[in-house]
């Protein structure tokens, strides 16, 4: 279950995040705004400052994860 206090904190911080990363929020809205279908592949790459190596993970969305992505969609609003 999502903690309502955590959601409120995220909503308060959302504005600053959008200002700091103006291209990222529209990307999320475009790709996740209508929901995510099972079979969708999501890949995340992280490269820390001063490190050569990137860390990457790829996941395939499962049908059982619809509720999770729906909740995330509502938080991102």
pTM of the model: 0.68
Residue 39: C-alpha distances to residues 7, 30, 59, 62 (Å): 27, 17, 9, 6
Domain ranges of the chain: 4-40+56-76
DSSP states of 2-38? --HHHHHHHHHHHHHHHHH-TTHHHHHHHHHTT---T
Per-residue model confidence (pLDDT) at position 77: 65
Average pLDDT over residues 16-27: 88
Render pLDDT for 22-63 as a digit per residue (tens, 0 to 9). 998 888 888 877 778 899 999 999 999 999 999 999 999 998
């Amino acid at each position: 279950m999502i903690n309502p206090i955590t959601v409120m904190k995220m909503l308060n911080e959302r504005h600053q995040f959008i200002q700091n990363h103006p291209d990222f929020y529209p990307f999320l809205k475009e790709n996740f705004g209508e929901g995510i279908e099972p079979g969708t592949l999501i890949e995340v790459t992280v490269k820390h400052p001063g490190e050569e190596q990137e860390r990457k993970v790829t996941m395939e969305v499962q049908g059982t994860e619809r509720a999770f992505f729906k909740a995330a969609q509502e938080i991102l609003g």
